[in-house]
Amino acid sequence: MARLFVAAWPSADVRAALAELPAADEPGVRRVPPQNWHVTLRFVGDADSDHLIALLGRAHLPRAVARLGPAVDRLDARQVVVPVAGVDSLAATVRDATREIGEIDRRPFRGHLTVARTKRGARTALVGVPFDTAFTVDEIAVVGSELTPAGAVYTTLATFPTVPTDAA
């Protein structure tokens, strides 16, 4: 059993744009390291990676354009994110294909890419910074997450191509 999620890794251009966000050397604010930037399509939790990979291997995954922005925002009291639109259908397909495994999330999908985490009550100047870019989601990844004292370490376990919707 491993702690798993399904994600879209941003393109090199998007990663470069994210790196240009102002540095947040603020009390109670911890930036997410660039190697961990991703758009979560489904958090699975503790599950058998081989089973998850087999389920996604049978899925028809629609290509999507992830549109990031229009500005950095908060997802909740502790997550500072860039909202991501355009991946709802892909996330729904992933959720439907993998519904027999992992944790059940009853909350509606809200596409986002986490750029920082804050201690409760901490403020950051990142919120409100304009951000507007996009990337085509050509593939998705099954990612293993190991929580360490230094932060999460992510490992891509498998990737799956997306298919243009007109190729269905």
Is residue 168 situated within a structural domain? no
Is residue 167 situated within a structural domain? no
pLDDT at 1 over 80: no
pLDDT at 167 over 60: no
Confidence (pLDDT) at 74: 96
Domain range spanning residue 101?
2-161
* 23 or 134: which leads in pLDDT: 134
Residue 54 has, within 13 A of its CA and on its CB side, a CA count of 7
pLDDT at 164 over 90: yes
- Report the chain's mean pLDDT, rounded to a whole number: 94
Is residue 79 situated within a structural domain? yes
For 89-147, write each residue's pLDDT tens digit.
Answer: 999 999 999 999 998 888 899 999 999 999 988 999 999 999 999 999 999 999 999 98
d(CA 151, CA 32): 9
The number of domains in the chain is 1
Is residue 19 situated within a structural domain? yes
Nearest to 85 by CA among 139, 21, 132, 17: 132
Is residue 92 situated within a structural domain? yes
- Which tokens in the block code for residue 83? 């909202």
- Residue 147 burial by CB count (10 A; 0-12/13-18/19+): exposed, middle or buried? exposed
**CATH number for the domain harbouring residue 107:** 3.90.1140.10
pTM of the model: 0.93
Confidence (pLDDT) at 150: 82
Eight-state DSSP code of residue 149: T
Is residue 166 situated within a structural domain? no
